[in-house]
């Protein structure tokens, strides 16, 4: 099977969930119009990233499923595509907050990943992920979700690959180096799988994000990339 994938690059506005979701929806709609069957968005794309504490995070966290996932589920159903959304999640039972990625398909939510390797200020508001590293079976193939620092380590991507992942959807708020990052390329090559990389760009609370959204093929070739600005990178997944 060959299909088109799209990696969305986006600069969210901190705390502006409603306008961020609206802008992301427009980008996802555009990607679907361009023929994409699998569409990724950046880490924490619905809210921004640099929360100081739980008091700030509580104003924007949501349950999964919830209003944000419903917005993208409607698009996925209407467009017959799969969408990966990065968002802050609150667990309905424990009340804990997580930095999460949710895979949504035409029939609704396929699965959720909670980031296992927190970075910078995340421990001030988010718990480490407790769902492991899953691979989700879809008509497009076996899809894994990883968030930013998860891919920094050999082991997390390898766990997904050993479960047969065809595609790793890596959503990130990567910073501090020129991108596409060597880590991204290495994980694709080491595990003989595609890496669809959605990174944010721009400046938030003095933190500079790198952009460099791209699609990386199993041999490490960067098939397409976007340096800065909101936009979409398209590529073929075979």
User: Is residue 115 annotated as a catalytic residue, yes or no?
Assistant: yes
| Marked catalytic residue, from 11, 81, 89, 115 | 115
**Distance between CA atoms of 152 and 92, rounded to whole angstroms?**
29
Dist. CA 55–CA 82, nearest whole Å: 32
CA distances to 130, 142, 154, 180, 214 from 158, rounded to whole Å, are: 18, 14, 6, 20, 20
Q: Which of 148, 169, 193, 214 is catalytic?
A: 148
Give catalytic status of residue 214 as yes or no: no
Residue 148 is a catalytic residue: yes
The active-site residue, picked from 43, 89, 122, 217, is: 43
> For residues 8 and 52, what is the distance between their CA atoms, to the nearest angstrom?
26
Residues designated as active site: 43, 115, 148
């Amino acid at each position: 099977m060959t299909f088109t994938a799209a990696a969305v690059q986006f600069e969210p506005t901190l705390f502006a969930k409603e306008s961020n979701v609206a802008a992301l929806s427009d980008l996802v709609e555009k990607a679907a119009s361009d023929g994409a069957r699998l569409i990724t968005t950046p880490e924490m794309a619905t809210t921004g990233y640099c929360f100081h504490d739980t008091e700030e995070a509580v104003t924007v966290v949501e349950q999964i499923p919830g209003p944000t996932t419903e917005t993208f589920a409607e698009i996925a159903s209407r467009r017959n595509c799969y969408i990966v959304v990065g968002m802050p999640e609150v667990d309905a039972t424990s009340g804990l907050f997580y930095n999460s990625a949710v895979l949504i398909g035409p029939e609704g939510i396929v699965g959720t990943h909670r980031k296992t390797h927190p970075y910078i200020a995340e421990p001030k508001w988010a718990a480490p992920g407790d769902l492991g590293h899953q691979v989700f079976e879809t008509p497009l193939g076996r899809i894994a979700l990883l968030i930013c620092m998860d891919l920094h380590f050999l082991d997390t991507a390898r766990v997904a690959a050993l479960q047969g992942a065809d595609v790793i959807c890596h959503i990130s708020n990567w910073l501090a180096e020129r991108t596409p990052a060597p880590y991204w390329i290495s994980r694709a090559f080491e595990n003989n799988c595609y890496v669809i990389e959605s990174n944010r760009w721009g400046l938030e609370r003095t933190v500079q994000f790198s952009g460099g959204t791209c699609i990386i093929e199993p041999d490490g070739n960067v098939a397409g990339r976007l340096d800065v600005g909101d936009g979409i990178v398209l590529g073929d997944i075979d």
